Amino acid sequence: MGTHPCTTIDPQWPTPGQALARLRSAPPLIQCLTNTVVQQFTANVLLALGASPAMDDTEGEAGVFASIATGVLVNLGTPHAEEAQAMREAIASANAAGTPWVLDPVAIGALPVRTSLAHEFRAARPTVVRGNASEVAALAGAGAGGRGTDTTDSPEAVLGAAAGLARETGGGVAISGPADLITDGERVWRVAGGSEWLTRVTGGGCALGSVVAALAGVLMHDDAWPAGVPGGTEAGGDAGEGAPLGAGTRAAWAATVAHALYSVAAERAAAASRGPGSFAVAFLDELSLLDPADPALAHGARITVAPVEDAEHAAEAIAVDPRTAAGNPAPHEIPANPLPHHGRTYRPTGASNGAGTDPSKELR
Ligand SMILES: Nc1ncnc2c1ncn2[C@@H]1O[C@H](COP(=O)(O)OP(=O)(O)OP(=O)(O)O)[C@@H](O)[C@H]1O
Ligand SMILES: Cc1ncsc1CCO
């Protein structure tokens, strides 16, 4: 490859469409130890995509289940004592089996039980950490957390901390927001698009974690993915031409693919929705209708990449909206919410581009 590996997406890496085809040809079994609020929505999201969910968070059997699962989600939204113990079992079992697992540190920062658990689990080296910007910053030791389950930071502002976290765990770190940022510690992939309606349905981020677990399960041990491509050490670093593709880089790319699939389905659902209720239903429909051959699921359709050594430079580079590039879909106009919204104007937190800075796209 003549080009610096940090600024290219290798054409040999599976596209979102190819990854989706592989997922559907052999549906991954995804164990979700997740919060009580989002269990059904999460299971439905996985089913709609083509994966097979199982919400086994029972102490004494969660570890047994993790030994046969394709991927595992550990989400700290409602971390009761028994579930916390089940999480320990599942993580130990997943690590022993080499099964990818995703940590979603929901609302950590000020809350002691989940914050302590998140740091305990971080030391077990999650394949992917997925959270909103405040959650990722808190896990990286660079922030005090958000407002409950909502972020008070932008993904761009916490990118440097996220990259440090990725280098420490040797995995990928994914930050959701108006545009999603995913890093392996060396470079950052930006996924454009999506829909603000995802923030108005509970579990928009939590279910995304399960989709990341599904794609990591499909792609981490994918034989069709060439092993010797530029860029990547064990920790995801840039080892140069011909070096083995690191686990961290694979994890970050699997997470990027998951975010791209999610983003396309959300945009299409938003176009067919009147509000959060119809959006949630349409989103499940659109996930199931995703077509692997759709040009919107090619590499360049919404994914851009930049080096992360200099986080400021990376934030600048990725601030260029790739949707203006040839072959990309026009950004979807989010319809105004026709319902009164408790007399307040909803402003997406942490917006630095796209819908977040366009007042015409506010939900009122
Ligand atoms: N302003 C926005 N515009 C478009 N998409 C958005 C916006 N904010 C978030 N999203 C999308 O919503 C999804 C969930 O991200 P979010 O940051 O809300 O997660 P979260 O806070 O962890 O969610 P939760 O804890 O409610 O499950 C992601 O797919 C993200 O891309
Ligand atoms: C609302 C809520 N409370 C704890 S977890 C959760 C789901 C969204 O994160």
pLDDT computed for residue 351 by the predictor: 34
Q: With respect to residue 65, please indicate whether it lies within any of the assigned structural domains.
A: yes
Q: What angle do CA 334, 157, 120 make, to 5 degrees?
A: 105
333 closest CA partner among 288, 246, 273: 273
What is d(CA 90, CA 119) in angstroms, rounded to the nearest whole number? 16
Neighbours of 7 (CB within 10 A): 12
* Residue 338 pLDDT class (50, 70, 90 cuts): very low
pLDDT computed for residue 8 by the predictor: 73
ipTM (interface pTM): 0.98
pLDDT of 223 higher than 90: no
Q: Quote the DSSP letter at residue 147.
A: B
Q: With respect to residue 347, please indicate whether it lies within any of the assigned structural domains.
A: no
pLDDT computed for residue 5 by the predictor: 52
Cα of 6 from ligand 2 centre, angstroms: 35
Q: Is 177 in the pocket of ligand 1 (CB under 6 A)?
A: yes
What does the block give as tokens for 196? Answer: 């603000």
Provide mean pLDDT across the span 44-57: 98
Specify which residues 244 forms β-bridges with. Answer: 228
Q: With respect to residue 203, please indicate whether it lies within any of the assigned structural domains.
A: yes
Q: With respect to residue 170, please indicate whether it lies within any of the assigned structural domains.
A: yes
Q: In this predicted model, which residue has the larger pLDDT, 353 or 45?
A: 45
Are 140 and 105 a contacting pair, CB within 8 Å? no
Using CA of residue 71, residue 76, residue 77, residue 80, what is the dihedral sign?
Answer: positive
pLDDT computed for residue 313 by the predictor: 55
Residue 103 amino acid letter: L
Ligand 2 surroundings by CB, under 6 angstroms = 35, 37-38, 77-78, 106, 149, 202-203, 206
Are 202 and 38 a contacting pair, CB within 8 Å? yes
CATH number at residue 140: 3.40.1190.20
pLDDT computed for residue 308 by the predictor: 85
Specify which residues 304 forms β-bridges with. Answer: 190
Burial of 228 (0-12, 13-18, 19+ CB in 10 A): exposed
Q: Which atom of ligand 2 is nearest to the CA of 204?
A: 8
Neighbours of 60 (CB within 10 A): 10
Q: Is 131 in the pocket of ligand 1 (CB under 6 A)?
A: yes
253 closest CA partner among 333, 183, 175, 331: 183
Q: Which atom of ligand 1 is nearest to the CA of 199?
A: 18
H or E segment and range at residue 180: strand 180-183
Q: Which atom of ligand 2 is nearest to the CA of 38?
A: 7
* 11 Cβ neighbours under 8 A, 6+ residues apart: 299
Residue 279, SS3 per DSSP: helix
What is d(CA 251, CA 212) in angstroms, rounded to the nearest whole number? 9
pLDDT computed for residue 297 by the predictor: 96
Which range (73-77, 119-123, 351-355) has the least confidence? 351-355
Q: With respect to residue 334, please indicate whether it lies within any of the assigned structural domains.
A: no
pLDDT of 24 higher than 50: yes
CB-hemisphere CA count at 13 Å for 361? 17
Burial of 224 (0-12, 13-18, 19+ CB in 10 A): exposed
Using CA of residue 244, residue 250, residue 253, residue 254, what is the dihedral sign?
Answer: positive
Q: With respect to residue 349, please indicate whether it lies within any of the assigned structural domains.
A: no
Q: C-alpha distances in angstroms, 353 versus 265, 321, 347, 359?
A: 20, 8, 13, 11
Q: Which atom of ligand 2 is nearest to the CA of 203?
A: 8
pLDDT computed for residue 124 by the predictor: 98
What is d(CA 351, CA 338) in angstroms, rounded to the nearest whole number? 22
Q: How far is CA 261 from the centre of its chain?
A: 10
| pLDDT tens, residue by residue, 170-204 | 999 999 999 999 999 999 999 999 999 999 999 99
Number of domains in the chain: 1
Residue 188 amino acid letter: V
Cα of 133 from ligand 1 centre, angstroms: 10
pLDDT of 18 higher than 90: yes
Q: What angle do CA 328, 330, 331 make, to 5 degrees?
A: 115
From atom 5 of ligand 1, which residue's Cα is the shortest distance away? 195
> If you average pLDDT over every residue of the chain, what do you get?
84
Q: Is 351 in the pocket of ligand 1 (CB under 6 A)?
A: yes
Phi, psi of 333 (to 5 degrees): -75, 125
Cα of 151 from ligand 1 centre, angstroms: 9
Please give the share of the chain, as a percent, with pLDDT higher than 70: 77
pLDDT of 122 higher than 90: yes
Q: Is 157 in the pocket of ligand 1 (CB under 6 A)?
A: no
Q: Tokens 């851009």 map to which residue?
A: 304
* Residue 246 pLDDT class (50, 70, 90 cuts): confident
What is d(CA 178, CA 349) in angstroms, rounded to the nearest whole number? 9
Helices (H), the chain: 16-25, 39-49, 62-66, 81-97, 112-122, 133-139, 159-169, 204-219, 247-271, 276-289, 311-318
Q: With respect to residue 345, please indicate whether it lies within any of the assigned structural domains.
A: no
Q: Is 146 in the pocket of ligand 1 (CB under 6 A)?
A: no
Q: With respect to residue 71, please indicate whether it lies within any of the assigned structural domains.
A: yes
Range of the domain at 154: 5-324
What does the block give as tokens for 61? Answer: 């059997």
Provide mean pLDDT across the span 102-131: 98
